[in-house]
Amino acid sequence: MYGSTNLTEEEAKRMSTTQEDPEKLEAFEARIARGEKIEPQDWMPAEYRKQLIRMIEQHAHSEIVGALPEGTWITRAPNFRRKLALIAKVQDEVGHGQLLYSAAETLGKTREQMLNDLMSGKSKYSNIFNYPAVTWADIAVIGFLVDGAAIVNQTINSKGSYGPYCRALERICYEESFHLKQGHDNVVYLATGSKIQRDMLQAAINRWYRPLLHFFGPPDKMSAHSEKLMKWKVKLASNDEMRNQFLDMYVPKILELGLTFPDPNLRKNNEGIWEFSDPDWDEFKRVINGDGPCNKERLAVRRYAEEAGRWVRQALMNPKDKYQVPLA
Amino acid sequence: MSNAIKDLLFKMADDALIIGHRNSEWTGIGPMLEEDLAFSSMAQDKIGHAQALYTILHESFGEPSPDQLGFLRTEAAFRCCRFVEQPIGEYDFSIVRQFLFDHAEYIRYDLLAQSTCKPLALLAKKVKGEIKYHVLHGDTFFKQLAQGTEESKARMQSALREAWHQALGIFEKSEFEEELIAQGVFAGEDELKKRWLAKVTAVVEAAGLQIPETIESKIDFGGRRGYHSEYLKQLLDEMTEVVRLDINAEW
């Protein structure tokens, strides 16, 4: 699961001033324009490499941090079917993390470095995982709507220009489509169940509405643009375009189950664009910068896993082995 | 006869459910991503085995549905050994438990493939093929960590010492033991223990560690008769937190 790629203004400014060999750059851009994929051994601009590492790394972090809120409910899933499905689903997310770290490693940064940057806070992960899964119904909503939002984003990104990332995303999207089914199934059971179940589902939708709007990043008018990222097919759709696609696909599915969203201004206008109340973008910024309900807890769990597992990794290390960049 | 078989099925199903639940607790916190994935796979297999065994109880012995058996019985009705109830602890304990427990599981299912209880014999043949990989995982990590760094060697020996008398609790006999053997349902806990001891001793010694001395009075018995460690109730309370919100609802 993953949100959106956003540049800070500073980064966007720096990008536009990087100097590259004009001939090589022209050939590179022509390849992308022809729809060719860029492979690890190919020449690429330093900024392209850097932005891709950043994006794939963040995506990988999002997968393994995303496993935490759902993982806490594996031990409480209410029957065999749900328990088995949830373990398998969260296992998939960790597997996606593994796959994506390998894809990022082809660009020259090791998994260990990436995990260190995650723990130091230097590298980010999707903001949505800084919110808690309060009840079992949150698991249903995450499985259906957060995974649904991630599929919108990842399907678009799988059409990008970097071969290893695209191939990883294609496989990820395939698995995510099963997650969506189990999430939808869970939502339907709660929506058509007892009053306790319906009430907990509605409360969960109310809780996740704003984080879901935040998921795709700030509105286009607020975010730093990079034509270059679009030209290089690192970014393929704007935040607003992806958000609108998500709302178009999922709002009707929730409404038809007799559920509501906690926003009287949520509606589709005559041009087919969804309108909604301001979801408090200041909160989005606060949470991204570390002040969300679960930021500290998420990183603390990752640090615990790293520290508690260090002796295992050290013992398994063969001093004769050399680090090898994974095959693309 | 059916009470004897039911007792055997319950203890196996309860072992599988509880160890599966414990294995699943490694999700997100393993020493490396690959181990998160491995423990998660083993958890799914084990919980699936539990479900299959409860299904035999339901279909052939008139017991309630697998969900009711797994999620709505009281602590005292469980027949799992105390070994599987223990918290996951650190990775050294979890991997030693996995190693010791799965060798016993593999041999148990291997013996049960010849059982006169047909549905159990059929299931055992299938499950054996899955447990083979759990054993492979346990052996691989046990050996590598036992021969890794000074710290990992010391940790593995110490975890083995901690787990040993709990592991021997796997072989606690019930009142039906003689009957099961006489009817050809199961070769019995003594036979299982004998084979298990030979197997794990070979691996432990080849890895350069020592099998702890067995002191009979220290063996952690009780689970097979419904007397559990303090951890089972906590585990069941957590496991049934959602379903108890509305036990009549469909989840």
- Indicate the helix (H) or strand (E) that contains B206: helix B189-206
Please, are residues B251 and A189 in contact by the beta-carbon 8 Å criterion? yes
Q: Quick one: closest CA in A to B141, which residue?
A: A316
Which of B36, B71, B145 is the closest to A315 by Cβ?
B145
Q: Is residue B251 part of a domain?
A: no
CATH of the domain at B85: 1.20.1260.10
For residue A98, what are the contacts with CB-CB under 8 A and spacing of at least 6? Answer: B33, B34, B37
Residues of B in contact with A134 (CB under 8 A): none
Tell me the per-residue pLDDT of B52-88, one tens digit each, with 9 for 90 and over: 999 999 999 999 999 999 999 999 999 999 999 999 9
> Which residues of chain A have a CB within 8 Å of the CB of B36?
67, 91, 94
- Neighbouring C-alpha atoms within 13 Å toward the C-beta of A99: 19
| CATH 1.20.1260.10 for domain A20-316 | yes
Over range B200-219, report the average pLDDT.
97
- CB A233 within 8 Å of CB A160: yes
Closest CA in chain A for residue B156 = A312
For residue range A174-205, list pLDDT tens digits in order: 999 999 999 999 999 999 999 999 999 999 99
Which chain A residues have any C-beta within 8 angstroms of a chain B C-beta? 64, 67-68, 71, 73-80, 82-84, 87-88, 90-91, 94-95, 97-98, 101, 136, 189, 193-194, 196-197, 200, 301, 304-305, 308-316
Query: What are the residue ranges spanned by the domains of chain A?
Result: 20-316
Instruction: Report ipTM for this prediction.
Output: 0.97
pLDDT at A7: 60
Q: Which of A68, A75, A196 sits opposite B246 (nearest CB)?
A: A196
Cα four-point dihedral sign A117, A121, A122, A123: positive
B28 and A101: CB-CB below 8 Å? no
Q: Name which of B27, B243, B248 is nearest A87 (Cβ-Cβ).
A: B27
Torsion angles phi and psi, residue A223, rounded to 5: -100, 150
B90 within some domain: yes
Domain that residue B12 falls in? 2-245
As to burial, measured by CB atoms within 10 angstroms (0-12 exposed, 13-18 middle, 19+ buried), residue A203 is middle
With CB atoms and an 8 Å threshold, state whether A90 touches B243: no
Out of B32, B70, B248, closest to residue A309 by CB: B32
Measured from the Cβ of residue A256, the count of other Cβ atoms closer than 10 Å reads 9
Rounded to a whole number of angstroms, the distance from the CA of B145 to the nearest CA of chain A is 6
This prediction's pTM: 0.95
pLDDT tens-digit series, residues B4-19: 999 999 999 999 999 9
Tell which phi-psi region holds residue B249, choosing left (phi > 0), alpha (psi between -120 and 50) or beta. beta
Of the candidates A143, A29, A9, the one whose C-alpha atom is nearest the C-alpha of residue A86 is A143
Number of domains in chain B: 1
Closest CA of chain A from B103, distance in Å: 22
User: pLDDT exceeding 90 applies to what percent of chain B?
Assistant: 99
Residue B250 located in a structural domain:
no
Residue with tokens 């109340």: A277
In a domain, B151, yes or no: yes
